[in-house]
Structure 1
Amino acid sequence: MVGIRIWLCLSIGLLWGCSNTTEQLVRDGDWYQVGYRDGISGKLSRPWGELQQLGAVRQSDYDEGYLEGLDEYCNPDFAYQIGLSGQEYFGACAGTPQGQRFRLEWQRGHQDFRMTY
């Protein structure tokens, strides 16, 4: 059930974008959501200096959200579909318990994507 929720969240996010921009979330002080969106998108964690340029950063909130989003993103059961969609992978899952399996599944999907297009 959680897996379906993750896949739907990724799909909806890719199709329609996010309802709030990062700038709006920063104005609202929702650093948890900024981090979560970075993590669930497979982005590398933003350096403190970059976050500070956005506004009065609450690093612990950002980190907490990022780790939760990254945990959901790094699910190897969805890595093939992420690769097959053409989405790039920048190594965000490296060092996580499922990181190696995620990378291999993403690579397999991305290879199929390249063969199709």
Structure 2
Amino acid sequence: MKKAALGLALVLLAGCAATTEELAQSGDWYQVGYQDGVAGHTSRSVKELRALGDVKQGDYDQGYLEGVAEYCNPDFAYQMGLSGQYYEGVCEGTPQAQKFRMEWQRGWNEYNN
């Protein structure tokens, strides 16, 4: 239970951080990627990133991968589904992908009942 609370706190804190536009303007592309990944969003296209500014693709990609690694923790997946958070499939191909999806689906099913 403590792990679930910590995971939810991390997701909520990511939402309180600077906006994507502010981060892009300051050149913090790592943090833009990290916030996308830890929120479980699919990676932004090059076109989407360029619309935000002079993108540093490598920084964005590194941040995104680290964010996804945190997001894909199966210990938090059930609670995500139970809270109605939609899963965009970003964990596919990771070592814990199957367990994550199963736990998320279990929570999602309860959310929809």
Residue aligning to 1:48: 46
**Amino acid aligned to 1:10:** V
Residue aligning to 2:18: 20
Residue aligning to 1:79: 77
Of the structure 1 ranges 2-11 and 96-105, higher mean CA displacement relative to structure 2 is found in 2-11
Distance 1:110 1:70 in 2: 20
Q: Return 5+ residue gaps in structure 1 as ranges.
A: none
TM-score (norm 1): 0.88
**Aligned runs of 1:1-117 on 2, under 5 Å?**
5-13=6-14, 17-115=15-113
Q: What is the root-mean-square deviation of aligned Cα atoms in Å?
A: 1.8
**Amino acid aligned to 2:19:** T
Q: Return 5+ residue gaps in structure 2 as ranges.
A: none
Structure 1 residues 25 and 11: CA distance shift in structure 2, 3 A: closer
**Could you list the runs of 4 or more consecutive aligned residues of structure 1 that deviate by over 4 angstroms after TM superposition?**
1-5
Instruction: Show CA shifts across 1:70-101 (max 9, x none).
Output: 00000001000000000001101111111111
Instruction: Show CA shifts across 1:29-66 (max 9, x none).
Output: 00000000000000011111211111100001001100
The CA deviation at 1:3 is 6.9
Sequence identity (%):
56
Distance 1:60 1:5 in 2: 29
Aligned residues: 112
